[in-house]
Amino acid sequence: MSAASLFTRMAKWASRFTGRPLCFALALLVVLAWIVTGPIFHYSDTWQLVINTGTTIVTFLMVFLIQNSQNRDTEAIQLKLDELIRATRGAHNALLDLEELEENELDAFRGRYIALAKAARECMDDDETERGTPDVDGLRRHPPA
């Protein structure tokens, strides 16, 4: 088993565990125990350092778990959307894999769709461009040879 595979499995498990009410209850109990022990330790610097260090470490590690989880979810959603575009008759295959484009290329696509939406809002209810699938000029990245 590779290190990446092991990390992925651990990240999935940790994401599932930390997203449950039980984990929240455990974290709440830790904070409550810390608060209760305040008078025992006379609210010392060490007492404060314990919670600060603990929460910093947990937060630091959770950032990586959350990012890993977000990356997986985003990639899965993009693949599902790509499949819907690919399988839908009349859809523009040039929209596949848009997340890989440069910002200026995305802006060009966005501009075409903004213009299309504006035209649809301005047309009458029985106009085909409002509820149909009008063509978007120049949607292909590379014209066919």
Q: Which of 34, 59, 87 is the last residue of a domain?
A: 87
State the Cα angle at 23 between 21 and 27, rounded to 5°. 115
pLDDT (tens digit per residue) in 13-63: 998 999 999 999 999 999 999 999 999 999 999 999 999 999 999 999 999
38 with 73, same domain: the answer is yes
Name the domain count of the chain.
2
16 with 65, same domain: the answer is yes
106 with 37, same domain: the answer is no
pTM confidence score: 0.65
63 with 118, same domain: the answer is no
Distances (CA, A) of 16 to 20, 31, 68: 7, 21, 13
In a domain, 39, yes or no: yes
In a domain, 30, yes or no: yes
For 109, the domain range is 94-131
- Given a contact cutoff of 8 angstroms between Cβ atoms, the answer to whether 112 and 139 are in contact is yes
pLDDT (tens digit per residue) in 76-87: 999 999 999 999
CA dist 137 and 97 (Å) reads 19
In a domain, 144, yes or no: no
